[in-house]
Structure 1
Amino acid sequence: MAEDVPPQDGPAVSSAWLAEQVTEASAAGIAATIARLVRHGELAPQTRLPTVRALASRLDVSPATVSAAWATLRKQRVVAGGGRQGTWVLGGLAVPRPARYENISRLWPNQTLNLSRAVPDPALLPNLAPAFEHALRDPEVHSYDVVSISGPLRAAAEHTWPFRTDNWMTVNGGYEGLLLLMRTTVVPGEHVAIEDPATPRLLDILDNVGARAVPVATDADGPIPASLRDALRLDPVAFVYEPRSSSYLGASVTPGRRDELAALLAGTDTLVVEDDGLGELSAFDYHGVAELLPEQSVLVRSYSKSHSPDLRLGVMAGATEPIERVRVYRQFGSGWTSRLLQNALAWLLEDEAARSTVAAARTTYQERREHLAGLLAARGVPSAGVDGLAIWVPVRSEPEALLVLASHGVAVAGASASWTRPAPPVIRVATGIPIPDADRVADAIALAVQAR
């Protein structure tokens, strides 16, 4: 008989006992048995499981069958480990979680100044009251008809959409659009090329769908063509990037860079997914690949930061098949996005006062970003960020910088969660919300950058 459990301290179960619990000796059946035992408390946290070969021998199945069961349980965070170190129970059944993005602000004291999230200032958002008053007049309100996008919203969005297309879809925010596209495009194990750094939430989404991320280096003009060329050698099913006002440094793709990227992507089977997260708030014109390759691309534009996070709206349009896959997949759940929300946004996009409010917010955010950058520059601290709701500050040690700022009652974000590979340490400081006593915050950041 193969060795039952690798020699380790702590509780363990034998292959003989575990085999008796299994009623279906398939990968799915073994995984279901372990999950049931964990749920009922019969397998306590840290309990070590038998080796793959020992359990396979008991069940008279191949080791690959048990390995597949272990892989399923690891993905669901029911067990951990593998190989020579053995496999052990983590604890109660866990749901997949966005580990990089999940915010711990709920654990902070009330007096903490939270500058970790690049969110809009509610005082700078358009007035929603007239928008909803208008939306309620729609005769289609209360209809159960499933529509990909309401007529008014499509008409309003088309006015500023950078390319012509007949394929439209509204989703409950930009990141839901990215999740749905990845969920309906990626088979676990396939490669997805992404700009590096990427947003933590995108990396969490790729983990969730089982994709293997392929980093594409970026500079101030967007993804670097030579790096994309290298990534395309792995035949990725998708390439996801931010065409303008990127979350990292606010970089925007130039027309020349767009042409180079499109030339590399044309003729491939790689779906181009453009994440226009800042949307109408961007100070830069759009020059994305989808302008040149609309039948190979999907542009996802969010209106949360520009018009309201509670509208929960993103619009995506472009290639036929990806949009259709999302439409079909949504029938498992919500089916469509509220017409009230869609038509409220449609009214805001065409209302002169609302457009003026968004333009004024764009200017105010620029002033706030430049004000904090100026305070830091006066203290000899460099920063970067030409657009968006945050600036980036190089530090000697990200963990130490975060700790120093926390001791001053200030919470910021680290950049390490945005990279797929080692990178220079940087912190992100949100500037969208007014910063009380900005001089004190600048003093604290000046101290934090020195920590090592």
Structure 2
Amino acid sequence: MEVDPAWLGQQVREPSARGVATGLIDLIRQGTLRPGARLPTVRRLARELGVSPSTIAEAWSELRKHRMIGTEGRRGTVVLGPPGVPHPARYERIGHFGSRLAIDLAIAAPDRALLPPLGAALAAAATAEGLNDYTRETITPRLRAAVEPTWPFPAESWLALGGGYEGVQLLCQTTALPGDRIAIEEPTAARLLDILEMIGVEVVPVACDEDGPIPAALAESLRSSPVAFVYQPRGHSPCGYAVPEARSAELARLLAPTTTLIVEDDGIGDLSAAPLSSLGTKLPERTVLVRSYSKSHGPDLRLAIIGGAADAVERVRVLRSFGTGWTSRILQDTLAHLLTDPASQAIVAGARTAYARRRASLAALLSTRGVHTGGRDSLVLWVPVHDESEALVTLAAHGISAAPGSRYWVRQGRPHLRLAIAGLTEEPAELDELADVIALAAKRPGADRH
């Protein structure tokens, strides 16, 4: 049943995008507009209210973000139900295969056998000075002393957080208002796209090559005055590039005349085989580096550090004060112990070497089979395929899961799969067999017949 546009117009008290959205939210919450009700077209309701179609489109966008309305083909826009919590749809769809598949290449988790043990580090942290003090501490002295010498530029301010994506999310959330623009590399991490969709910003994609964001593409994006530029300087997921110093200098030259905040996502941190060429060495007052220690030192530490521009870090600290307030001193000093303990440092260095070897081995085997992956530094391989759906079905038939590349694009790009390499076998015969299956999945059916 279609909702009468005249009646609906009478329920809207304020003819603005916010007023229309608020009016419909009330009607849906009260049950006056029930799930399945078909809404008037954007143009019909705009005429009824005497506003532009873009005003109604903006209201519809807000309602879609909260999963209150949706489009159902010829039925048009329909009511779905009361507002719900936005879900990270791209991230939640990755890797729910239960025990049916034997090889999981969808989740880029660390190999638990390559993580440093936590026992001694936790014991050392449990006797830390100031333990259980209710003072809100942005970063413990021990942890700052451990990370500061490794930072690529002098940070104006520091903050310990519950993981790298929390850092990226809070920096974006405290920098951008709904409708603001944020420039990001493309393709990029699926979770970042979910975060930006939840915040309600306009995403401005920046094309990349083997050296990271292309200067001409960044220059084009800066014409729209984005409030932030978020990118991965090394260990890029999904493509595996690391930005060299010459490219970093070009990007800094373009960003220098702007007011755009630079957010560097160093997602694998100490596991990266490449040096970090940070824009913070040229623009320290506008750069914040987010470094995660989850994959290198343990996911259950739930720790990342942000360091850089004081204003941006302070905004994150203030927003966090409404909730968690500060990160556990026990966890912070546990990480500090691991970062300074020679035995733990050796284990992380060994993991870095092992991951690089596993990645290079599978890439080389695929290359000999005509599948060229590119990239040189990450815990994933970005594999071009003829058809994503067919490739995923082929892998699943052989007991292998993978992540479809379409989840990592803003605009539609060439079909790819993202394969996690951290847990790969190093047994030559098994790795060779795996490469055979991936190559079979990647190629056009019948491609090897001629």
TM-score (norm 1): 0.89
CA positional deviation for 1:111:
3.6
Q: Residue 387 and residue 72 in structure 1: after superposition, are their counterparts in 2 closer, same or farther (change >3 A)? A: closer
For 2:297 and 2:335, how far apart are their aligned partners in 1?
8
- 2:350 alignment partner, SS class: helix
Q: What does 1:61-100 align with in structure 2 at a 5 Å threshold?
A: 69-81=59-71, 86-91=76-81, 93-100=83-90
1:212 aligned partner, one-letter code: E
CA positional deviation for 1:422:
2.8
- 1:334 alignment partner, SS class: coil
**Considering only aligned residues, what root-mean-square deviation do their CA atoms show, in Å?**
2.7
Indicate the residue corresponding to 2:253 in structure 1.
263
Indicate the residue corresponding to 2:406 in structure 1.
416
For 1:449 and 1:337, how far apart are their aligned partners in 2?
44
How many matched pairs? 438
2:39 aligned partner, one-letter code: L
- 1:306 alignment partner, SS class: helix
Q: Is 1:438 matched up with 2:428?
A: no
CA positional deviation for 1:211:
1.4
Aligned-pair identity (%): 49
CA positional deviation for 1:84:
10
CA contact (8 A) 1:266 1:293 kept: yes
For 1:54 and 1:211, how far apart are their aligned partners in 2?
27
Indicate the residue corresponding to 1:136 in structure 2.
126
- 1:149 alignment partner, SS class: coil
CA contact (8 A) 1:405 1:444 kept: yes
For 2:74 and 2:384, how far apart are their aligned partners in 1?
40
CA positional deviation for 1:401:
1.0
Q: Residue 109 and residue 93 in structure 1: after superposition, are their counterparts in 2 closer, same or farther (change >3 A)? A: farther
Indicate the residue corresponding to 1:30 in structure 2.
23
Indicate the residue corresponding to 2:303 in structure 1.
313
CA positional deviation for 1:280:
0.7
Q: Residue 107 and residue 84 in structure 1: after superposition, are their counterparts in 2 closer, same or farther (change >3 A)? A: closer
Q: What does 1:144-223 align with in structure 2 at a 5 Å threshold?
A: 144-223=134-213
- 2:356 alignment partner, SS class: helix
1:373 to 363, 370, 375: 363
Indicate the residue corresponding to 2:214 in structure 1.
224
CA contact (8 A) 1:402 1:412 kept: yes
Q: Residue 233 and residue 15 in structure 1: after superposition, are their counterparts in 2 closer, same or farther (change >3 A)? A: closer
CA contact (8 A) 1:52 1:63 kept: no
Identify which range, 77-86 or 147-156, moves more after superposition: 77-86
Q: Is 1:398 matched up with 2:405?
A: no
Indicate the residue corresponding to 1:303 in structure 2.
293
Uncovered stretches (5+) of structure 2, i.e. residues with no partner: 446-450
For 2:443 and 2:52, how far apart are their aligned partners in 1?
52
CA positional deviation for 1:423:
2.0
- 1:100 alignment partner, SS class: helix
Q: Residue 192 and residue 66 in structure 1: after superposition, are their counterparts in 2 closer, same or farther (change >3 A)? A: closer
CA contact (8 A) 1:301 1:316 kept: yes
CA contact (8 A) 1:31 1:70 kept: no
CA positional deviation for 1:121:
0.3
How big is each residue's C-alpha offset from its partner over 1:154-180, in whole Å with a ceiling of 9 and x where there is no partner? 111102111112300111111100000
For 2:369 and 2:46, how far apart are their aligned partners in 1?
64
For 1:219 and 1:402, how far apart are their aligned partners in 2?
25
1:427 aligned partner, one-letter code: L
For 2:356 and 2:5, how far apart are their aligned partners in 1?
63
CA contact (8 A) 2:234 2:377 kept: no
1:114 to 70, 87, 104: 104
Q: What does 1:4-83 align with in structure 2 at a 5 Å threshold?
A: 11-14=1-4, 26-27=19-20, 29-38=22-31, 43-50=33-40, 69-81=59-71
CA positional deviation for 1:18:
5.8
CA positional deviation for 1:388:
1.8
- 2:295 alignment partner, SS class: coil
2:2 aligned partner, one-letter code: A
How big is each residue's C-alpha offset from its partner over 1:168-195, in whole Å with a ceiling of 9 and x where there is no partner? 0111111100000010001111211111
How big is each residue's C-alpha offset from its partner over 1:139-168, in whole Å with a ceiling of 9 and x where there is no partner? 322122111111111111102111112300
Q: What does 1:344-363 align with in structure 2 at a 5 Å threshold?
A: 344-363=334-353
CA contact (8 A) 2:289 2:308 kept: yes
Identify which range, 404-413 or 349-358, moves more after superposition: 404-413
How big is each residue's C-alpha offset from its partner over 1:343-384, in whole Å with a ceiling of 9 and x where there is no partner? 100111111011000000011112211222233234343333
Identify which range, 62-71 or 103-112, moves more after superposition: 62-71
- 1:315 alignment partner, SS class: strand
Identify which range, 347-356 or 133-142, moves more after superposition: 133-142
CA contact (8 A) 1:237 1:270 kept: yes
CA positional deviation for 1:54:
7.0
Indicate the residue corresponding to 1:447 in structure 2.
440
